[in-house]
């Protein structure tokens, strides 16, 4: 596939993430125009994740470098708690895997995931205790993570070694809508 086609696919994917679900969840009203529109702020943690993945997919940033940038964002970002940001990251990765059908791009995505999993455990270097929402025994609970403590995101494990939630998110994302609805209904019986 020609490089310009690949670059266009990556750009279109990034735009669809910024203007789509991320904008709906984290967008801010832009009042600089005559009509009010929502935009994902370029300084938001989610926008930084899109940029990191775009740089990785385009080959402008090596997988290891992108993994280190992601770790730095997670361990220092105070606007979003780590579990939410990690779920955003998984959403972006799965959207890329669904959208980008080029083997080179998919391999870069896999290489990035491998590099994330090989990082040392993420440690809270944010100012003060971080309270995060985690799922334990099927219930949402709060967990306090002290400064210097490893980010453990519930029973699924630690950032980065365990890639918590990756397995069940992958299963639900790619098993199809009917099966996901059925699985959800069966859990409530």
Within a 10 A sphere around the Cβ of 9, how many other Cβ atoms? 19
| C-beta of residue 26 within 8 angstroms of C-beta of residue 44 | yes
| The pLDDT of residue 141 is above 70 | yes
| The pLDDT of residue 189 is above 50 | no
Name which of 175, 70, 155 is nearest 113 in CA terms.
70
**Average predicted confidence (pLDDT) for the chain:** 85
- Tell me which range, 67-71, 130-134, 139-143, 161-165, is most confidently predicted by mean pLDDT: 67-71
Q: Give the global pTM.
A: 0.83
| The pLDDT of residue 21 is above 60 | yes
Lowest mean pLDDT among 41-45, 107-111, 154-158: 154-158
| The pLDDT of residue 155 is above 50 | yes
| The pLDDT of residue 96 is above 50 | yes
- What residues contact residue 52 under an 8 Å CB cut-off, 6+ apart? 61, 66, 69, 70, 73
Segment 135-146 shows an average pLDDT of 78
More confident residue, 28 or 33: 28
What pLDDT shows up at residue 187? 55
User: Domain range spanning residue 118?
Assistant: 3-187
- In the chain, the number of structural domains is 1
Within a 10 A sphere around the Cβ of 143, how many other Cβ atoms? 17
């Amino acid at each position: 596939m020609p490089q310009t086609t690949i670059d266009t696919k990556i750009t279109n994917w990034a735009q669809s993430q910024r203007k789509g679900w991320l904008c709906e969840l984290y967008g801010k009203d832009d009042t600089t125009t005559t009509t009010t529109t929502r935009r994902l702020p370029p300084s938001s943690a989610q926008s930084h994740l899109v940029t990191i993945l775009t740089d990785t997919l385009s080959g402008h940033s090596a997988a290891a470098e992108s993994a280190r940038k992601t770790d730095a964002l997670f361990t220092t970002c105070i606007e979003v708690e780590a579990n939410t940001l990690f779920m955003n990251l998984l959403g972006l990765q799965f959207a890329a895997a669904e959208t980008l059908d080029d083997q080179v791009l998919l391999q870069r995505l896999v290489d990035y995931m491998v590099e994330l999993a090989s990082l040392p455990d993420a440690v809270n270097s944010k100012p003060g205790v971080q309270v995060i929402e985690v799922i334990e025994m099927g219930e949402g609970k709060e967990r306090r993570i002290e400064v210097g403590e490893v980010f453990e995101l519930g029973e699924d494990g630690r950032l980065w070694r365990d890639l918590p939630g990756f397995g069940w998110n992958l299963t639900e994302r790619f098993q199809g809508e009917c099966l996901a609805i059925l699985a959800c209904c069966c859990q409530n019986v």
